[in-house]
Chain A
Amino acid sequence: MSNPKYERPLSPFMMYRWQYTNTLSFLHRLTGCALSVGTLLFVYWLVAAASGAEAYANAQAVFAHPLIKLLLVGFSFAFFYHLLNGVRHLVWDTGRGFDKKTARTSGWIAFLGAVVLTALLWFLLVRRGEV
């Protein structure tokens, strides 16, 4: 590696300095995995609803737990971020949006958009007396 005569190509993670865009990229995969786990809660909710009023009441008690509520806020952020950043990926798949300025701006839009949509969702749910 030190001898330029034997210089070999390096994996990107070994040579790139940190930029927030690589955290955003990692966050896409992380939120995707989180949402995969979140499908467990989603299906639990549906199975409870299909199992009758008593089972649904039990599920409501589970969802009312503060830790689960916090988890749901996290899942909703993961949902909005993965959705917005997913659209960003779909645009990239068409070969557009790769120049540095556009890629950084769209990254900020995806992240801040997810924060705003998460806040809006929970504002509406709290206002309805759901939380």
Chain B
Amino acid sequence: MSLRSPVGRVLGLGSAGDGVGHWWTLRVTSVALVLLGLWFVFSLVRMPDTSYASVTAWIAAPINAVLLSLLIGTMLYHSLLGVQEVVEDYVAGHGAKIVTKIVLQFVHFLLGALGIFSVLRIAFGSAA
């Protein structure tokens, strides 16, 4: 006899409440990061130098601004999913676990917003 409710069976989220979503998203973001990460390192090596003028000119190019924004978002999302897993494994106590996870979530979203906003500010030419 299954104790699972019919709606629970349809949703297929299991006892943890989020099913395979966490695991699967970690994989999908990792594939994206292989491409975006290598693109970034390749671009960094190909830049003439890392002076203010070269870096801002490179970021301001439309394709670079978009790919860089995607890199920042994907990177921090992947990082968040990864450290959440570590917290789940090593932080004892339900309360401490939840608090640590929420703090990490805030930090990751803050960093992502700061990074993407900075790229857009340079790309739209409104940087000082």
Q: Which residues of A contact B (CB under 8 A)?
A: 29, 32-33, 35-36, 39-40, 42-43, 46-47, 49-53, 56-57, 60, 79, 83, 86-87, 89-90, 93, 121, 124-125, 128-130
For the complex, would chain A's binding face be called helix, strand, loop or mixed by DSSP majority?
helix
Q: How far is the CB of B24 from chain A (nearest CB, A)?
A: 10
The answer to whether B27 touches A93, judged by C-beta atoms less than 8 angstroms apart, is yes
Q: Does B19 contact A (CB under 8 A)?
A: no
For the complex, would chain B's binding face be called helix, strand, loop or mixed by DSSP majority?
helix
Interface size on B, residues (CB 8 A): 32
B117: chain A residues at CB < 8 Å are: 50
Contact with A along B102-116 (1 / 0, CB 8 A): 000000000100110
Q: Which residues of B, 86-118, contact A by the 8 Å Cβ criterion?
A: 86, 111, 114-115, 117-118
A32: chain B residues at CB < 8 Å are: 79, 82-83, 86
* Complex Cα spacing A95 to B72, Å: 30
The answer to whether B82 touches A39, judged by C-beta atoms less than 8 angstroms apart, is no
Q: Does B63 contact A (CB under 8 A)?
A: no
Could you list 13 A-B pairs, sorted by A, with CB under 8 Å?
A35-B79, A36-B79, A39-B111, A42-B115, A43-B115, A47-B114, A50-B117, A79-B37, A79-B41, A90-B27, A90-B30, A93-B27, A121-B45
Q: Does B122 contact A (CB under 8 A)?
A: yes
The answer to whether A128 touches B49, judged by C-beta atoms less than 8 angstroms apart, is yes
* Complex Cα spacing A87 to B121, Å: 34
